[in-house]
Amino acid sequence: MVITVTLNPAADRTVEINNFEIGSVNRIVSERTDAGGKGINVSKTIRSLNGKTKALGIAGGRTGLYITQYLDETGIENEFVKISGESRTNLKIVDNIRKTITDINEPGPLITGEDVERFENILFKHIDKGSIFVFSGSVPGSIDRGIYGKWIRRLKKEGIRTILDADGDLLKYGIVQGPYLCKPNVRELETLVGRRIESPAEAGFLGKKILKENGIEVMVISLGEKGALFINRNDTFYASALEVEVKSTVGAGDAMVAALAYCIDMGYSMDEMIRLSMASGTAAVMSAGTKAPSYELIKGLADKITYRKL
């Protein structure tokens, strides 16, 4: 089973506005609201892949109630610590005329040390040798940025495989604890190494170096429209991105992580992992809002994925 962690979940409201203008009156063409946050998005796609998942997190207020009810209604097992503060609502403005997507994200509620302790009690009761834990996304400002690293270290001692998908200090302090798989995008990798990366080959070299230095088994580096790199201790593979109509870039990385976690859980080969994760990310950008891509769409794209060894 794949256990996802979302410490800063959100209600993701996506609105479509043609020719969106700052400082002007804009009219909404269509809208939808989904429960979101990176870990929740991962669980949604695993559910689409017919995998086993449980979403853990911290949520509060009416928005928090909406999030947990959404998960219940979509058949995703979940357990959230309830807090007094209000979980955030994020706004995504999609302009299909100008081909732009604008994110307006709230910071999230205050989380106390007591709230974190209550969550840790939930988290560590799910320790099972067969489980995979996914730590992804932001955390509210009151939470220490070493929190993912702390949890990865403890789970690794228990022989549990973990996946890290975060940025900034969450990535910096988490990666040194040696998660089983780490999935930065190229911008996050640039921040981590403190320099601009000029080519996929350079990204692959740096990814391999980081993998070996920190005891990571698999590194996946997203290159956006240029594709992605898949690195293990022996090989580096470069997968090309498919050209498709983009409806939303929000959640594409989460769909990739979901497929990666699912493949690890199922014991799939590197070939299957590359194809399914690339197809899932592609299917996500073809889907509106943060709606999980369908199983049929993902499977239909998987056979079209091409990659080569670097």
What per-residue confidence (pLDDT) applies to 290?
Answer: 64
The stretch 40-60 carries a mean pLDDT of 95
Rounded Cα–Cα distance for residues 92 and 106 (Å): 11
Q: What residue spans define the domains of the chain? A: 2-309
- State the average pLDDT for the chain: 92
| Strands 181-182 and 53-60, bridge-based pairing | unpaired
Q: Are 75 and 47 in contact (CB under 8 A)?
A: yes
What per-residue confidence (pLDDT) applies to 99?
Answer: 85
Q: Are 258 and 287 in contact (CB under 8 A)?
A: no
The stretch 87-99 carries a mean pLDDT of 91
Rounded Cα–Cα distance for residues 140 and 88 (Å): 10
Helix, strand, coil percentages in the chain from 3-state DSSP, rounded to 5: 40, 25, 35
What per-residue confidence (pLDDT) applies to 242?
Answer: 87
Identify the residue whose tokens are 């079209």: 304
The stretch 254-278 carries a mean pLDDT of 96
Q: Band of the pLDDT at 128, cuts 50, 70, 90?
A: confident
What per-residue confidence (pLDDT) applies to 249?
Answer: 65
Query: pLDDT digits over 210-221, tens only?
Result: 999 999 999 999
The Cα angle at residue 139 between residues 171 and 204, in degrees rounded to 5: 20
Q: Evaluate if residue 267 carries a pLDDT over 80.
A: yes
Q: Are 4 and 54 in contact (CB under 8 A)?
A: yes
Q: Based on the residue annotation, tell me whether 271 is a catalytic residue of this protein.
A: no
**Over pLDDT 90: what percentage of the chain?**
79
Query: Given 72, 254, 265, 303, which residue is catalytic?
Result: 254
Q: Band of the pLDDT at 127, cuts 50, 70, 90?
A: confident
Q: Evaluate if residue 196 carries a pLDDT over 70.
A: yes
What CATH superfamily classification does 2-309 receive? Ribokinase (3.40.1190.20)
Max distance between CA atoms of the chain, in angstroms, equals 55
Q: Evaluate if residue 310 carries a pLDDT over 90.
A: no
Picking from 102-106, 117-121, 146-150, 263-267, which range would have the lowest pLDDT averaged per residue?
Answer: 102-106
Concatenating the DSSP letter of every residue in 159-192 gives T-EEEEE--HHHHHHHHTT--SEE--BHHHHHHH
Q: Which of 106, 87, 107, 102 is nearest to 14 (CA)?
A: 102
The stretch 272-282 carries a mean pLDDT of 95
Contacts (Cβ under 8 Å, ≥6 apart) of 207: 189, 219, 221, 229, 231, 236
Q: Evaluate if residue 74 carries a pLDDT over 70.
A: yes
